[in-house]
Structure 1
Amino acid sequence: MSAEVTFPLPAPYGSRTATVRYHRRGSGSPLLLLHGVGHHWQGWEPVLPALAERHEVIAVDLPGFGTSPGLPDGVPYDLTAAVPTLAAFCAALGLDRPHVAGNSLGGLLALGLGRAGAARSVTALAPAGFWSEAERRYAFAVLAYMRLGATLLPPSAVDALSRSAAGRTVLVSSIYARPGRRSPEGAAAETRALRGATGFAPTLAAGRRTRFTGDIAGVPVTIAWGTRDRVLLRRQGVRALREIPGARLVRLPGCGHVPMSDDPQLVARVILDSCAAAA
């Protein structure tokens, strides 16, 4: 089921509202899924069936991405605003400390929710915020190149490229180690989502000042990194473990930056194991 909710933003933005669209399925304890920059909730589709067998899954289009409208003027796209906004979204849906899993930007936000005490468990897949300055500039250059390509390609060319494995390599090989495994519909849809992401530029602007610091106490944390991640290099996982020494660091063999399509079974198992640790 896909739906949307409009809710008041937390202080100091409480006089304004945000609207978030999301997909919900399954039953059990709630599990919130957060995508990366320029992506949309459908990036989680390869792992949704396995996750929904054990959890009520809420996959979100973050504000300014997918079909969710952007944040109101004056509300920044940084951690200080994004984490309370997601907590307010959970409150609007009646979600009490859900399990949270996120990829890239979503992984950073998942860690932020865990640090704020708003998550029951955290699974961060290649989370942002553990980079050196050179690594951040490199990652942002890759993302900007992807955005430029998505903007310049006519919709008919996107559809044509998505129909072959070679074409999907052109469209999405920056984020997938095995782009041929992504469905034609999925590759085309996420290219269009990247093209139309109004939150892309303000998120990258906020990210220039973002580093995740501070431990996360009392919450099971799993950090997982693909061995073939070409956006955020896997050595950043070691830095993450130094910052959050109680976390579990997991290697995802053969996976790229967005691992859910590269190895759905492995990624689903990692998330489910992290959720089970909270029990």
Structure 2
Amino acid sequence: MRETTETGVSRTAVEVDGEAASYLTAGQDGPVVLLLHGTYWSRVWLPVLGCLAEAGLRPVAVDLPGLGRSGGELTRETATVPALADWVVRFASALGVSGPVAVAGHDIGGAIAQHLLARELLEVRRLALVNSVAYDSWPAPHVARFRDAATTADALIAARRRAVASALAGAATEQLIADYLDPWLDARVRRSWLAMAGAADSRYTLDLIPALRRSTTPKLLIWGEDDSFEKVEYAEKFASEIPRTTLVRIPGADHIPTESAPGRIARALIDFFTA
């Protein structure tokens, strides 16, 4: 079933592993850009989808299994970054994507994107990372605290509310925070998120560094400078060590800069993916 909003962004789904893989998209034709989320959901990409489509791209912001609006449920085994990267390959196949593809990742979605490139799981023609995990920058303390401790639904939702409000920074409104929190009202999504938190491990990015240093694929880093967890210093290190990497800094933006500077981020992504 396809639902289209007034902005031309639609939500639809394909079947992957017997479950619905929900995704936001805009535009009909043009080169596909796979947009991957991390500890949030596809909502982080909504502010830039229309602009990408207007530029002739076909953005696809998927919800990982068990998260956002997708079906299924993650376990600690299926929530690891390598396992999620393999799932994205199956999603791309179900979507009919073949040949070179552009990929962008936010948060842990950036680690998944790095795996797609470094392990050559897809033919990634260009890679963009937005306030992504990198090196040993993760898991952030507010995620790591849920790795092994039991928690109630109310405690998890309250913690996610604080994290969302902080990540949105000056863009935060009560309505926007509620939009971001909505999936966590579902117990299945809460269990999947806890599995992702439990599976978070920085070795999944540290182990990729040698392959990334050999990569000649163009890379773009877009970074909200006020992110207190995925600090801009990690982006600076990545840009200095990994070839063909450009860093775009977003002053005054925190962990979800697509909400506070959507125009600038859309422009940077468009220029990069259409170059």
TM (normalized to structure 1)? 0.77
Structure 2 unaligned residues grouped into runs of 5+? 1-9
Q: Describe the SS at the equivalent of 1:64.
A: coil
Per the alignment, residue 217 of structure 1 pairs with 215
In the TM superposition, residue 72 of structure 1 has moved relative to its aligned partner by 6.4
Tell me, yes or no, if structure 1 residue 7 matches structure 2 residue 16.
yes
In the TM superposition, residue 221 of structure 1 has moved relative to its aligned partner by 0.8
Q: Describe the SS at the equivalent of 2:68.
A: coil
2:76/2:196 contact within 8 Å kept: no
C-alpha separation in 2, matches of 1:171 and 1:78: 21
C-alpha separation in 1, matches of 2:146 and 2:268: 26
C-alpha separation in 2, matches of 1:256 and 1:40: 17
Structure 1 unaligned residues grouped into runs of 5+? 9-16, 159-167
C-alpha separation in 1, matches of 2:46 and 2:265: 12
C-alpha separation in 1, matches of 2:123 and 2:111: 14
Per the alignment, residue 178 of structure 2 pairs with 188
1:172/1:179 contact within 8 Å kept: no
Tell me, yes or no, if structure 1 residue 203 matches structure 2 residue 201.
no
Tell me, yes or no, if structure 1 residue 121 matches structure 2 residue 115.
no
Identity of aligned residues (%): 27
1:87/1:118 contact within 8 Å kept: no
1:150/1:192 contact within 8 Å kept: no
The letter of the residue matching 2:123 is: A
C-alpha separation in 1, matches of 2:95 and 2:72: 19
Are residues 35 and 137 of structure 1, via their aligned partners in 2, closer, same or farther at CA, if it must alter by over 3 Å? closer
Per the alignment, residue 62 of structure 2 pairs with 60
Q: Describe the SS at the equivalent of 1:66.
A: coil
C-alpha separation in 1, matches of 2:58 and 2:34: 9
C-alpha separation in 1, matches of 2:163 and 2:65: 24
TM (normalized to structure 2)? 0.78
The letter of the residue matching 1:83 is: A
In the TM superposition, residue 246 of structure 1 has moved relative to its aligned partner by 2.3
User: 1:52-108 CA distances to partner (integer Å, 9 max, x unpaired)?
Assistant: 112111111111211112356684212321112101111111112321112111122
1:77/1:203 contact within 8 Å kept: yes
How many residue pairs align between the two structures?
Answer: 249
Per the alignment, residue 92 of structure 2 pairs with 90
Are residues 143 and 256 of structure 1, via their aligned partners in 2, closer, same or farther at CA, if it must alter by over 3 Å? farther
